[in-house]
Amino acid sequence: MASLSNGQLAQIVKGLNTVRSAQHRRRAVAAGVFFAYDWMLTLGMEIELIWKAKWTYIKVLYLFQRYLTFYDTFYASYLLMFGKNLSKETCKSLFTQMRVSYLVGIIAAETLCSIRIWAVWNKDRRFFIILPICAICIWGPATAAMASAIVVSQYTDAPYRGFVGCFNTNAKDIHLEYVWACLLAYDAISLVLVMIPGIRIYHQGLIGRSRLSHVVFRDGVIYYITLFLFSLLNIIFSVSLESATRSSLANMGRALHSTLASRVVLHMRDTVHTPRSDYEVAAKHMRASNVHFTRTVHRDDGAVIENVISDDFMHTMHTTTDGSDTL
């Protein structure tokens, strides 16, 4: 069998790289466009409801998970896929930065929504035990799986001048399905924790009488169902597709986490700031219901506290016009 010359090998590698780059380009562009489009749509709300609010840990967490996405989805990912003549050291560094940023950003987004779960459970002290245990048991293995993927990844120097992207030599040994499995488990637990009080309030007829509670539970269910299904798809892709395409949805998954978590916060704050008549609607049904409602509003230092009380359930939402610790 005749051996190929260096020139022929270079042409083969160049052809394969062209196909691979086209596939990566479509996936990267799709995730980037999705995230950037949503960011532009909600920028006005963000400026009004987040940037103008006082500094709290919710605001810090929101901004951190929101804008970290620009770094890994646009900068690190773009260079890893479209940079020219990159050395193997540069490729390894970019891959490490991107994956670490992915995981940290996703954990920050999930934490932001976990705080909301704690709020809808009326800040139940048991969550100080349950949530940290869940976080350690789930995010610990996820971090270990991501670290393993970073350690085993290997790259080679650009095989010819003008080579685009990074050439990974052992993609089949990188297994991110374990990370997605951890995300799936966390989202499943969170979905259950959101639905339990949501179903209870629904049966008591309170959701239709409070726009805030309606938004909180609606967004929570949509958020966790969407991410649960997306994590499931990533697992299926990771175990069934070829190594070159098994991470097809990774960028989109990262963008989805940040986008949905941000919208959850923005929708709640927007509902609080928008004039509402839910109390008047509830008042019309007081005589036809055995549920007793009280509403107390305090505007000392801009604080607004809304209480909806029933015979066997107390649902309290604490909000502030500048963004409270739970919103």
Going by C-alpha positions, the residue among 266, 278, 277 that lies closest to residue 327 is 266
b or e along 115-154 (b: 16 or more beta carbons within 10 Å of the residue's beta carbon)? bbbbbbbeeeeebeeebeebeeebbeebbebbebbbeebb
Alpha helices in 121-210 (DSSP H): 127-152, 177-203
Dump pLDDT digits (tens) for 288-327.
Answer: 344 443 343 333 333 333 333 333 333 334 443 333 445 5
Going by C-alpha positions, the residue among 287, 282, 280, 284 that lies closest to residue 315 is 282
Facing residues of 306 across strands? 317
What residue ranges of the chain have pLDDT lower than 70? 1-25, 205-210, 212, 243-246, 275-327
Dump pLDDT digits (tens) for 21-37.
Answer: 566 667 778 888 999 99
With vertex at residue 96, the alpha carbon angle to CA 107 and CA 252, rounded to the nearest 5 degrees, is 55
Give the C-alpha separation, 75 to 160, whole Å.
24
Global pTM?
A: 0.77
CB-CB contact of 183 with 106 (8 Å): yes
Structure tokens at 108: 């920050």
Q: What distances in angstroms separate CA 102 from CA 50, 77, 199, 234, 285, one per listed residue?
A: 23, 10, 33, 14, 48
Give the C-alpha separation, 228 to 233, whole Å.
9
**Burial (Cβ within 10 Å: 0-12, 13-18, ≥19) of residue 322:** middle
